[in-house]
């Protein structure tokens, strides 16, 4: 199924996009207008007034393919942003805590190849590399009419949410997601562009979408498509292979344990891991490998050659994310598997560099790290213009599943299973939250049907 996305001809993609992106359904707009009583208070803006409120961005964006028009358009909503704050969000109904089964792979207290693996002191456990506490990654945005939005970002987001972003968006209409996304991006350019600043922009932007969905009494995915989507095939990330296969996954992504510093012995162990996974998954399952920015070009070529007999579908983030040229060389040389990247890339400008250098066949932006849902729509439009699929990093979390579900250019969803050893309620709630079903491609998921992102959360 995924090969059909990668094999499309560029001219066909551009033609399809031109048709899809210029259409607009009056029925869709009218249906939205009936969904909420408060919309009857929306004032009618003249063309001149609207032009004053929304500065023209066409000159900035003219070289980028545009995403589809937003169904809620440019109309003033009557809502105003009253407050923006970083806050830890917790489930309304607490999830049981438990001690995972001894010896399971948890992604932290185990060896995982990483950018610092070249230094012996950082090799034994991934937890030696990761920050202990960079603050909360979620935000709460309140409006003047009592509608509150929740949004998720990434590491370090709270610093900028607490100290800068409210200054840029307070008093604004939360429905103006394109305008506010641009304001936050431009306002943080002098210290931002990528990383923690964009993580913060992502969190606030996502919270605005949550507000829009709640105001219109629609799940966010209905704001992204006029079609009725189908459940999305999912793959499982992690090295608890038996658990994933027993659960029903037919697609599995492994975390590479060893990098160049481990030499030939590390290559042998990596091959052993992949061989064992292929045996348990069977010949028809999809097998991927996450290299987490840890390899060199020469090591990647050696590893790809070693793993060719096991039909690895893609190798992910082989090099550090700024090495666009190196990734492009690997993408041109290696034929036994596909190159994938984008988890640590941000904004349409960063992904334009991936496109320019032909660095990957699969793009993997993270909605909570790349600039938020508004920017993700631009990244996806760019990917479509190059005939590339977009398979989100962490596609099941933080509201991302709404984009995955609505977007025909996103054929799979990444998921993580709760660790082995928990009470049955943990796994039952996991299945309920993500509306898990099973079918020919293994596990399928859908987002919540509740308004907004459908989070069942509250501030701690």
**Six-digit token string for 389:** 């699929």
Percent of residues, the chain, with pLDDT higher than 90:
86
pLDDT of residue 33: 37
Percent of residues, the chain, with pLDDT higher than 70:
87
Over residues 210-219, mean pLDDT: 98
Residue 235 has pLDDT above 50, yes or no: yes
Over residues 182-211, mean pLDDT: 99
Residue 48 has pLDDT above 80, yes or no: no
Nearest to 277 by CA among 239, 249, 232: 239
pLDDT tens across 156-173, in order? 999 999 999 999 999 999
**Six-digit token string for 339:** 């190159």
pLDDT tens across 445-456, in order? 999 999 999 999
Q: What is the DSSP letter of 43?
A: P
- Give me the half-sphere count of Cα atoms (radius 13 Å) on the Cβ side of residue 458: 5
Q: How confident is the model at residue 75 (pLDDT cuts 50, 70, 90)?
A: confident
Residue 413 has pLDDT above 60, yes or no: yes
pLDDT of residue 248: 99
Q: What is the DSSP letter of 407?
A: -
Alpha carbon 210 to chain centroid, angstroms: 16
Q: What is the DSSP letter of 9?
A: -
Over residues 216-227, mean pLDDT: 97
Concerning whether 258 is annotated as a catalytic residue, the answer is no
What span, in angstroms and rounded, lies between the C-alpha atoms of 325 and 356?
9
Q: Look up the CATH architecture of domain 232-452.
A: Alpha-Beta Barrel (3.20)
- Of 199, 393, 402, 434, catalytic: 393
What span, in angstroms and rounded, lies between the C-alpha atoms of 84 and 217?
22
Average per-residue pLDDT for the chain: 91
Which pTM does this prediction carry?
0.89
Strands 138-143 and 148-152: what pairing?
A: antiparallel
Range in 31-35, 193-197, 215-219 with the lowest mean pLDDT: 31-35
Residues whose CB is less than 8 angstroms from the CB of residue 186 and which lie 6 or more positions away in sequence, other chains included: none
Give just the sign of the alpha carbon dihedral 244, 248, 253, 258: positive
Q: What is the DSSP letter of 89?
A: E
Domain locations in the chain as residue ranges? 232-452
- End-to-end Cα separation, the chain, in angstroms: 42
Determine phi and psi for 444, rounding to 5 degrees.
Answer: -125, 155
∠ CA 119-121-125 to the nearest 5 degrees?
Answer: 105
Q: How confident is the model at residue 2 (pLDDT cuts 50, 70, 90)?
A: low
pLDDT tens across 106-155, in order? 999 999 999 999 999 999 999 999 999 999 999 999 999 999 999 999 99
Residue 258 has pLDDT above 80, yes or no: yes
């Amino acid at each position: 199924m995924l090969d059909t996305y990668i094999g499309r001809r560029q001219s066909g993609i551009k033609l399809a996009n031109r048709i899809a992106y210029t259409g607009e359904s009056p029925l869709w707009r009218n249906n939205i207008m009936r969904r909420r009583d408060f919309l009857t208070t929306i004032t009618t803006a003249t063309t001149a007034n609207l032009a004053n409120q929304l500065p023209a961005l066409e000159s900035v964006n003219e070289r980028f393919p545009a995403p589809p028009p937003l169904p809620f358009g440019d109309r003033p909503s009557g809502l105003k942003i009253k407050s923006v704050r970083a806050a830890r969000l917790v489930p309304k109904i607490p999830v049981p805590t438990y001690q995972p089964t001894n010896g399971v792979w948890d992604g932290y207290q185990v060896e995982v190849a990483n950018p610092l693996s070249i230094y012996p002191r950082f090799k034994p456990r991934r937890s030696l590399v990761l920050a202990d506490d960079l603050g909360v990654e979620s935000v709460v945005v309140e409006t003047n009419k009592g509608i509150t939005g929740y949004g998720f970002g990434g590491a370090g987001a709270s610093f900028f949410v607490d100290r800068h972003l409210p200054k840029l968006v307070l008093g604004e209409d939360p429905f103006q997601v394109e305008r506010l996304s641009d304001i936050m991006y431009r306002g943080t350019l002098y210290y931002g562009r990528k990383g923690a600043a964009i993580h913060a922009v992502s969190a606030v932007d996502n919270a605005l979408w949550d507000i829009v969905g709640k105001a219109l009494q629609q799940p966010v995915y209905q704001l992204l498509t006029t079609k009725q989507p189908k459940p999305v095939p999912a793959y499982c990330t992690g090295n608890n292979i038996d658990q994933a296969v027993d659960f029903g996954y037919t697609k599995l992504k492994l975390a590479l344990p060893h990098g160049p510093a481990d030499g030939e012995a590390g290559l042998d162990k990596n091959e052993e891991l992949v061989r064992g996974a292929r045996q348990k998954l069977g010949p028809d399952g999809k097998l991927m490998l996450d290299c987490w920015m840890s390899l060199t070009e020469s090591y990647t070529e050696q590893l790809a050659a070693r793993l060719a007999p096991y039909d690895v579908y893609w190798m992910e983030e082989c090099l550090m994310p700024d090495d666009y040229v190196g990734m492009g060389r690997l993408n041109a040389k290696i034929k036994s598997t596909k190159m994938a990247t984008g988890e640590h890339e941000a904004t349409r400008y960063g992904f334009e560099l991936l496109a320019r250098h032909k660095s990957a066949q699969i793009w993997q932006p993270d909605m909570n790290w790349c600039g938020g849902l508004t920017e993700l729509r631009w990244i996806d439009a760019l990917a479509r213009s190059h005939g590339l699929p977009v398979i989100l990093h962490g596609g099941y979390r933080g509201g991302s599943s709404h984009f995955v579900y609505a977007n025909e250019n996103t054929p799979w969803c990444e998921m993580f299973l709760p660790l082995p050893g928990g009470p049955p309620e943990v796994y039952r709630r996991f299945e309920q939250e993500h509306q898990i079903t099973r079918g020919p491609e293994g596990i399928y998921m859908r987002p919540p049907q509740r308004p907004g992102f459908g989070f069942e959360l509250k501030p701690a």
